[in-house]
A and B are shown apart, each in its own frame.
Chain A
Amino acid sequence: MARAVSTQHKTIATAAAWIVALLIFFPILYTIITSFKSEQEAIQGFNLFPSGTTESYIAVEAQNGYFKFFLNSVFLSVGSTILALLVAIPAAWSMAFSPGKWTKDILMWMLSTKMMPAVAVLFPIYLIFRDTGLLDSRIGLMIMLMLINLPIVVWMLYTYFREIPGEILEAARMDGASLWKEIVYVLAPMAVPGIASTMLLNIILAWNEAFWTIRLTTTEAAPLTAFISSFSSPQGLFWAKLSAASTLAIAPILIMGWFSQKQLVRGLTFGAVK
C-alpha cells in the first residue's frame, strides 16, 4: 500500500503545485481584487491590496442594469437545461434499458450534430429567428441552447442509466410491480444522482455559451455573455466596473463548477474517461 513519502519530496511538490496553481488562477484573483478598487486605483499600477470600496458593484447595477442580464442568464441556463432533460430522459432511458439494433448508431449520430460548426448555420438561424419574431426573445434562445446541449445531455444520461443494473427491474417485475411503481420506487432513486449531475454540467455549459447568446440578442433577452461583451467597445477605462461585472458573472458558475469536476470529466468525454 502507500509507501512512506519523504517530507522533502512532499514539500517540493507542494511548493511547485501551489506556485503553478496560483499563476493559473491569477487572472481571476486579480479581477476579484480589482473589483474592490476605485477606478483611480485600478489603473495606478500593480497592487494586490484594494481599498475595499464596493462602488463598482453599485455602479454596475445603477448604470448598466446588471441584474436584468443576470436574470436572463439564470432563466436561459436553467430553462434550457430543464427543457433538454424533459426531452432527453425518455430517450436515454429507452436506449439504456431496451437497446435496439440502432441504438449505438443513433447515439453516434446525435453526437455528430454537436460537431456542426455554429457559423455554418448562423445566417439561416438568424433569418428563421428574425422572420418568426424570435430574435432577442428568451424563448427562442432557450430553445436554441436546449438544442445545442441536447446531445451531451442524452449521452450523459445514457452513461449513467446504463450503470443501473437491469436485473433490479426484472426482480421488481417478478414481484408484481406495475410500470409506474417500478419507475417511482425502483428506478427514480437510482437515476436521480445521474440526472442531477447532468443538470449541473449543462447549466454551466449553457451559462457560458458565447456565440448564439451574443448573436441572437440585443437587449431584452441578452444574458451576461452579451452584457460583458458590450464592455469591449472602448468607452474609457472602466476597469473596476468591468472587474465587478466579471466577478458577478463568473462567481455562481465558478462555485458550481468546483462541485462538478467529476461530472465535467465524464460529460465532456462522453463517458470515455471516468
Chain B
Amino acid sequence: MATQQTRSLARFMMAPSVVLLFVWMIVPLAFTLWFSFQQYNIRDGFVGFSNYALFYSNPAFLQSILNTLAIVGSVLFITVVGGILLALLLDQPIWGQGIVRILVISPFFVMPPVAALVWKNMIMHPQYGVFADIARFFGGQPIDWFGQYPLTAIIIIVAWQWLPFATLILLTSLQSLDSEQKEAAEMDGAGFVSRFIYLTLPHMSRAITVVILIQTIFLLSVYAEILVTTNGGPGYASTNLPFLVYQKALLEFKIGQASAGGILAVILANIVAFFAMRAVGKNLDK
C-alpha cells in the first residue's frame, strides 16, 4: 500500500527528530570522551588513562558510587513496597477516592528544589522542623538529620517524591485486573494472601518492572535534592556520582577527571538502559 512517494515523505517527516537527537547525543558525548583523555587546564595534550586513574583512585569516588547505589536501592525498595501496599489500599472501595488519589499523587508534581527545601527547613530542621516538634512533644531529643544522617535524609525526600509515581502506575495496573478472575478466585475459597501471591502479584509484575526501570534512570541522576540540602556533605557523606562529577567540572574545573567520571555514569546508565529497553520493546511487538 505504501508507495515510493509516501515512503520518502515518511523519511522526510522523521528527519528533524532523528537528526536533532542524533546531534544532541553524539556531539557532547564525543567531547566528553575527548576531554577524558586530555589534560585540559595547564597544557592541552593527550594523557591516556591518567584522568581515569586519578578519578577512580580518589577516595570520594568509591564513596560516591556507594552513595549512588544506596540512594537507588533504598528508594526503589521503599517506593515499590510502599507503592504496592498503597495501591492495594486505594483499590478498596473508599469514600472520597478521587480526593485521596489527588492527595497521594501530589508530591510527584513538586519540583525537586521545593521538595528538598521544604523537607530540610520545615520538616527535618533540628530546631524548628515538625520532626523536632514531635520529638520534643514526646520528651525526646530532636535529630540533626542533615548533620548526622545526611544520606538517609536525602533518601527520605527522594522516596517521598517517587512513591506517588509507583503508586499511580501500580494502581493503574491493579485496576486493569479482571474482576471476574478475582471473584472466581474468591469463590474457590482463596484467601486475601493467596489471591495476592498467585493472582495480583503476577498480574502486576510487568508494571513493577516498568516502575523499577524508569525510577532507576531518574534515581541514578539525583542532583537538585543534594544541591539544596547538604551540598554533598558533610565531607562526601551524601555525594553521589552525578554530584561528584558536577563538583569536579564546575567547582574545581578538573575537566579531565570530571569527563572520566561522566563516561562511567554513561556506562552505568547503559547497563540499566539495556534492561529497560528490553522491557519496553516487548510491549511494542504486541
Contact = CB atoms under 8 A, between A and B. Distances in A.
Given A30-B122, A108-B281, A18 B111 contact: no
Interface string B81-123: 0000010011011111101111111111111111111111111
A271 B89 CA distance: 25
Interface stretch (A54-62, A87-95, A180-188, A190-198): A87-95
B111 A250 contact: yes
Given A124-B32, A242-B117, A254-B109, A90 B13 contact: yes
A137 interface: no
Contacts of B86: 20
The majority secondary structure among interface residues of chain B is helix
A194 B25 CA distance: 27
A247 to B, nearest CB: 9
Given A28-B106, A118-B221, A106 B27 contact: no
A228 B117 contact: yes
A120 B246 CA distance: 9
Interface in B96-152: 96-97, 99-123, 128, 130, 133-134
Interface stretch (B43-51, B194-202, B223-231): B223-231
A112 B274 CA distance: 9
A207 interface: yes
**Residue of B117, B130, B261, B283 with most partner-chain A CB within 10 A:** B117
Contacts of B107: 24-25, 27-28
Interface size bucket, A side?
35 or more
Contacts of A5: 93
Contact of B111 (A16, A34, A126, A208): A208
B259 interface: yes
A246 B17 contact: no
A271 B10 contact: no
Interface residues of B, number: 108
Given A31-B118, A88-B17, A243-B122, A273 B221 contact: no
B103 A111 contact: no
A17 B21 contact: no
Contacts, number: 306
B9 interface: yes
A116 B20 contact: no
Given A119-B262, A273-B169, A273-B173, A30 B130 contact: yes
A241 B163 CA distance: 28
Query: 6 tightest CB-CB pairs across the interface, nearest first?
Result: A124-B31, A121-B28, A90-B13, A257-B109, A120-B262, A94-B10
Interface of B: 1-2, 6-7, 9-11, 13-14, 16-18, 20-21, 24-25, 27-29, 31-32, 35, 86, 89-90, 92-97, 99-123, 128, 130, 133-134, 160, 163-165, 168-169, 172-173, 176, 183, 206-207, 210, 214, 217, 220-221, 223-224, 227-229, 241-242, 245-246, 249-250, 255, 258-259, 261-263, 265-266, 268-270, 272-273, 276-277, 279-281, 283-284
Interface of A: 3, 5, 9-10, 13-14, 16-18, 20-22, 24-25, 27-28, 30-31, 34, 42-43, 45-46, 87-88, 90-91, 93-95, 97-98, 100, 104, 106-108, 110-128, 147, 150-151, 154, 170, 204, 207-208, 210-211, 214-215, 224-225, 228-229, 231-232, 237, 239, 242-243, 246, 249-250, 253-254, 256-258, 261-262, 264-265, 268-274
